[in-house]
Chains A and B, each alone.
Chain A
Amino acid sequence: MQAGFIGARIKAKREELGFSQEAVTRLLGFKDRQTLSAIETGDRRVSAEELLRFSEALAVPLDYFADPFLLAGEGRFSWRQSGVPAPKLDAYERDAGRLIALFRALGAEMGREPPLLRRTLTLTRASSYEDAVAAGERFAEEFGLGEVPALRLGEAMERDLGILVLMVDAVPGVSGAACHLPELDAVLINRREVPGRRHYDLAHELFHILTWDAMPPERLEDFAAPPRGRVEQLANNFAAAVLMPRAALDRLGPWDGLEGNVLAARLNAAAEPLGVTSSALRWRLVGAGLLPKAVAQGVDEALLRNNGREEPARELPPLFSKPFAELVAAAVDRGRISVRRVAGLLGLAIDDLADAFAAHGVAFDPGI
């Protein structure tokens, strides 16, 4: 039994390497190009000997051809990171891609496919920052994010937009990522970031997901550097407005006449319940015209660090997400993927899977 992966993977690798069907036909010793074509479309089975020859000719391990839990040349990532060496990020991208591929493959088999249609924002590179802010405000309103949008944003992305949102232990220096696949969107958030940064990353990556075709983001974005390019600045304005709608700013105001230490204390006190960083709140107030830029720049940065706490917030969200945990647990239970394979893909010991899923209220007994 061959589920069709093998032919599709052969085609993907051949195209990735820039080989024509004629060239691979010669390499494999087929009589004609139609044989390869039939294999690639799944109309003809691949024999064991042929599979071995494909593995050698295309220089990939055998597993590559049949592993459903792998992004094989599919999907584009946009990483919010700073100073992560390229080989380390490449390796992490492969691991992160496996989580997304796992969700995609199991979801398709178990009746939890992503939405047929994608939602998009009607913004373009020509849009103004005010347009992005207005879109963020409307998003928070239309998706019912309430008085503290940071608390409901992830759930709305999963439930209303069908986006896979995963909390992960990323390599140091990675803050988050968006991933765009033909049939699925995903956002990864480094759960070890402080809450305000996590929420901001989520809203920022949401912008990229909702504007991917009109404004495809760069693969790498340095969150520690000033935003480069219009798309990133539009994303920042959208994110700030989603998390800090004007109504919330007014509710937490008034802001006139504040400066220096008094302003810093007010920013810290207001940022915490909104689930944002004091610094992000400061610039949102400037953008909303509620705080003069010169006054904002005059605040001592040290007073805003960790929202005025001595230590960063310690709260650590559980790994992955509830929909992810539910799907994987059900798939193991129904014999769609082995427990050992899941543990390996998730980077957890078998005995830790139950705890990781229980953190989302998902009961799971590996039974082994």
Chain B
Amino acid sequence: MDTNAILEAHRTGSWRALRGGHWLETVEACVIETQTGAQNRRPEQRIEEAELHADLKAIHAVTDAERAAALARDDFLARLDEGERDLWSHALTRSDAWVLCGPDTTSLRLGVRLGLGDRLVALEDLLAAVGHRPKLPLRRNYTAAWHRAERAAMALEEGGRCP
């Protein structure tokens, strides 16, 4: 889960359903960015760090070696913010089944460039999978329709395989 997706799930009152139905993980930088004063949002969501730690199945520390490996694989990574960069740096180390939930167009483009378009998932799809419909409408980039259209467009632009 990236910072934006965690904040949106809280904003729309969907966090409880999300963490109850999925095995959620993130990286330390994203947890820091969810805290008051570091969200870079207005208004900010009130998210207790201790509760977040309890809700997430894992919060990964990312090493410089992992960041270097990700940068060496595709330096397009440098277009992302710190939390987004660390999340991808961590994801690229894994060999198990994982999906990445983040709404940013550039993060999506990176996933497609890396041939990992099928690992990208919309927050709306994660919520639908646990039968939750948010009381507040999700912002555009968290919807399944936007996510699908954007991934397809990116795949065409990048010349990669269609996700």
Known: A335-B154, A338-B107. A368 touches B72 (CB 8 A): no
**Apart from the given pairs A62-B68, A340-B33, A349-B42, 10 other A-B contacts in the complex at a CB distance below 8 Å:** A2-B75, A5-B75, A5-B78, A62-B64, A338-B79, A340-B40, A343-B40, A350-B41, A367-B140, A368-B140
Q: Return the CB mask of B103-122 against A: 1 if under 8 Å, else 0.
A: 11111110001000000000
Q: Return the CB mask of B128-149 against A: 1 if under 8 Å, else 0.
A: 0000000000011110001000
The answer to whether the Cβ of A341 comes within 8 Å of any Cβ in the partner chain is: yes
Known: A66-B75, A334-B105, A352-B42. A367 touches B146 (CB 8 A): yes
Residue from B33, B71, B106 in contact with A336 in the complex, judged by beta carbons closer than 8 Å: B106
Residues on A with C-beta less than 8 A from B41 are 349-351
Known: A62-B68, A340-B4. A335 touches B75 (CB 8 A): no
A51-B79 in contact (CB<8A) = no
Bound complex: CA of A343 vs CA of B77, how far in Å? Answer: 17
Bound complex: CA of A68 vs CA of B71, how far in Å? Answer: 13
Stretch at the interface among B18-26, B49-57, B80-88: B80-88
A368-B106 in contact (CB<8A) = no
- List, sorted by A's number, 9 A–B pairs whose CB atoms are closer than 8 Å: A3-B75, A3-B76, A48-B65, A65-B71, A66-B78, A340-B81, A340-B104, A341-B84, A368-B141
Tell me the count of chain A residues lying within 8 A, CB to CB, of chain B. 40
A67-B105 in contact (CB<8A) = no
The answer to whether the Cβ of B8 comes within 8 Å of any Cβ in the partner chain is: yes
Residues on B with C-beta less than 8 A from A50 are 72
Q: Which of B106, B108, B113, B141 lies at the interface centre, i.e. has the most chain A CB atoms within 10 A of its CB?
A: B106
Q: Return the CB mask of A339-368 against B: 1 if under 8 Å, else 0.
A: 111011000011110000000000001111
B40-A344 in contact (CB<8A) = yes
Q: A66 → chain B, closest Cβ, in Å?
A: 4
Bound complex: CA of A1 vs CA of B71, how far in Å? Answer: 9
The answer to whether the Cβ of B34 comes within 8 Å of any Cβ in the partner chain is: no
Bound complex: CA of A77 vs CA of B146, how far in Å? Answer: 43
What is the interface of chain B, defined by CB distance below 8 A to chain A?
3-4, 8, 33, 40-42, 64-65, 67-69, 71-81, 83-84, 103-109, 113, 139-142, 146, 150, 154
Bound complex: CA of A31 vs CA of B143, how far in Å? Answer: 52
Residue from A49, A337, A343, A367 in contact with B79 in the complex, judged by beta carbons closer than 8 Å: A337
Count contacts between A and B, CB distance < 8 Å: 116
Residue from A2, A62, A368 in contact with B67 in the complex, judged by beta carbons closer than 8 Å: A62
Q: B155 → chain A, closest Cβ, in Å?
A: 12
The answer to whether the Cβ of A63 comes within 8 Å of any Cβ in the partner chain is: yes
Q: Which residue of B lies closest to A342 (CB)?
A: B81
Complex A-B, nearest 10 residue pairs according to Cβ-Cβ distance, in ascending order: A340-B81, A335-B105, A367-B141, A48-B69, A335-B109, A66-B75, A367-B140, A66-B78, A338-B106, A48-B72
B71-A62 in contact (CB<8A) = yes
Residue from A3, A47, A341 in contact with B72 in the complex, judged by beta carbons closer than 8 Å: A47
A351-B42 in contact (CB<8A) = yes
Bound complex: CA of A349 vs CA of B40, how far in Å? Answer: 5
Bound complex: CA of A193 vs CA of B65, how far in Å? Answer: 46
Q: A334 → chain B, closest Cβ, in Å?
A: 7
Residues on B with C-beta less than 8 A from A3 are 75-76
Residues on B with C-beta less than 8 A from A55 are 64, 68
